[in-house]
Structure 1
Amino acid sequence: MKKISKGQVAVWILAVIPVILAAAVYARLPAEIPMQWDLGGEVGYEPKWHLWIIACLGPFLAVLFYFMPRFDPKTRNYTKFFGSYLGFQAVMMLFVLIINGICVVEGLRPGTVDVAMVICLVIGLMMVYLGNVMPKFRMNWFCGIKTPWTLSSETVWRRTHRVAGRLYFAAGVLGVLGAFIPNNIVRFGLLLVPLLAASLVSTALSYLWYRAEQRVC
């Protein structure tokens, strides 16, 4: 973890791209730009300087993700899934970049982006990726299904994340498919309901498996 890998450098580069993009187009943006979209398609405008809040989120998260393992009691475990942890960071940086890009494009050319579709599609793809890498996560305090029961048992942690990976993958697929349905309520329903269900089922299973383990002991 002490050596800075090429993957970590790539994450940092991704993190600063939104800042560079904001700086490049800021003078061309109108005084107010669209930054909020509701399910009915209504657009909320905010002062363009708010774009810097989103743009700077990337560097903030990059620094946070880099230092978090150092404060984790399970810090040694990060070496066991460091590639997946870097991938998770990269996905988050791409998400910030896409959000920043949407605000820029809609500020310059309103109505260009189907925002609801893009957001649902991107989050769905993120969940598909997360579902793939989640079984590789090792016990830690910052990534994965962190319940008192998964953090108390390596066995419960592994079982929970194997199942959670499948559930999040399936939820992500539904979210991706739902993104192409031309109804915002249906889109977000197919995204959020399966994600909520995946989280609740994973949490409940971690409790049941922990209780079963304690009875055996």
Structure 2
Amino acid sequence: MEKFKKEIPFIAVALLPFVYLAYIWKSLPESVPMHWNGAGEIDRYGDKNELLLMIFMLTGISYFIFLIIPYIDPKQKLQNMGNKLNNLRLILALFMSALAIYILYSVQQKTSNPVLIFPLVGLLFAFLGNYFKTIKPNYFIGIKTPWTLENEDVWKKTHVMGGKLWFVGGLLMAMTFVLPNKIQVYTFLGITAVITIVPIVYSYFEFKKIKNQ
């Protein structure tokens, strides 16, 4: 019972988009926008029932994943993170719910161009980058390469460097809302590639450096 009480805030946050969808359901036509192209134009419509699946994939699946992984982590490091892990879970749940609600709002408006999706993701990346240095070595969360998982010092150094990179990259993403749609998309993809590839390469060279010493 105590464990269930602790889960109530996470469940409540995950259900917020479903509540919002129920509120706007009758105002939605049977066919609603489901995808926008790089220019911000609607290029696919679908049945409004698809929105239920979209919300579940954003909030439901992420909730269940973070509920389960601390118990299947072979190193048991995630359980030792305590409140830090719960804070991370809550922030991610809030982000997923906010993203789902914003998408639903864009769907309802039809002509609304969801330009804030990339900046929202950028703010999430910035938050995660600021959080990286607190993550213990594990197989589920963080920059998981063969070299960070092999050596704890490489894990720490990679997450300190990668955290700074993700923080700066996330803030740059957040500022892309002032750019034209196509440039916004390409800028987002470029920044994502940099903050993904650089920490991987860095972890390899750090591992080689430590091994040679």
Tell me the TM-score normalised to structure 1 length.
0.88
Cα distance in 1, alignment partners of residues 87 and 52 from structure 2: 25
Deviations 1:148-185 (A, max 9, x none): 1101111010000000000000100110112222x112
Cα distance in 1, alignment partners of residues 171 and 48 from structure 2: 34
1:35-50 matched pairs, under 5 angstroms = 35-43=34-42, 44-50=44-50
Deviations 1:91-114 (A, max 9, x none): 332333233323432343322x43
1:80 CA drift (Å): 4.2
- Which position in structure 2 is the counterpart of 1:94? 94
Deviations 1:37-80 (A, max 9, x none): 111222021100000012222123212211111111122x1244
Residue 97 of structure 2: SS of its match in structure 1?
helix
Q: 157, 174, 177: which is aligned to 1:176? A: 174
Q: Structure 1 pair 174/35, CA: closer, same or farther in 2 (3 Å)?
A: same
8 Å CA contact 2:106–2:113 kept in 1: the answer is: no
1:5 CA drift (Å): 8.7
1:12-161 matched pairs, under 5 angstroms = 12-43=11-42, 44-57=44-57, 58-75=59-76, 77-111=77-111, 113-116=112-115, 118-161=116-159
Give the stretch that moved more between structures: 11-20 or 157-166: 11-20
Count the aligned residue pairs: 211
1:6 CA drift (Å): 7.0
Give the stretch that moved more between structures: 59-68 or 92-101: 92-101
Q: 179, 184, 189: which is aligned to 2:186? A: 189
Q: Which aligned segments of 4 or more residues in structure 1 are displaced greater than 6 angstroms?
A: none
Deviations 1:108-147 (A, max 9, x none): 3322x4302x111101100110111011110011100000
Cα distance in 2, alignment partners of residues 99 and 34 from structure 1: 16
8 Å CA contact 2:70–2:78 kept in 1: the answer is: yes
- Which position in structure 1 is the counterpart of 2:8? 9
1:20 CA drift (Å): 2.1
Q: Structure 1 pair 165/6, CA: closer, same or farther in 2 (3 Å)?
A: farther
In structure 1, the gaps of 5 or more residues are: none
8 Å CA contact 1:171–1:194 kept in 2: the answer is: yes
- Which position in structure 1 is the counterpart of 2:204? 207
Q: Structure 1 pair 88/192, CA: closer, same or farther in 2 (3 Å)?
A: farther
Cα distance in 1, alignment partners of residues 187 and 91 from structure 2: 21
Cα distance in 1, alignment partners of residues 153 and 145 from structure 2: 13
Residue 140 of structure 2: SS of its match in structure 1?
coil
Q: Structure 1 pair 196/83, CA: closer, same or farther in 2 (3 Å)?
A: farther
Q: Please report the RMSD computed on the Cα atoms of aligned residues, expressed in angstroms.
A: 2.1
**Percent of residue pairs bearing the same amino acid type:** 25
Residue 32 of structure 2: SS of its match in structure 1?
strand
Cα distance in 1, alignment partners of residues 5 and 192 from structure 2: 32
The amino acid across from 2:28 in the alignment is L
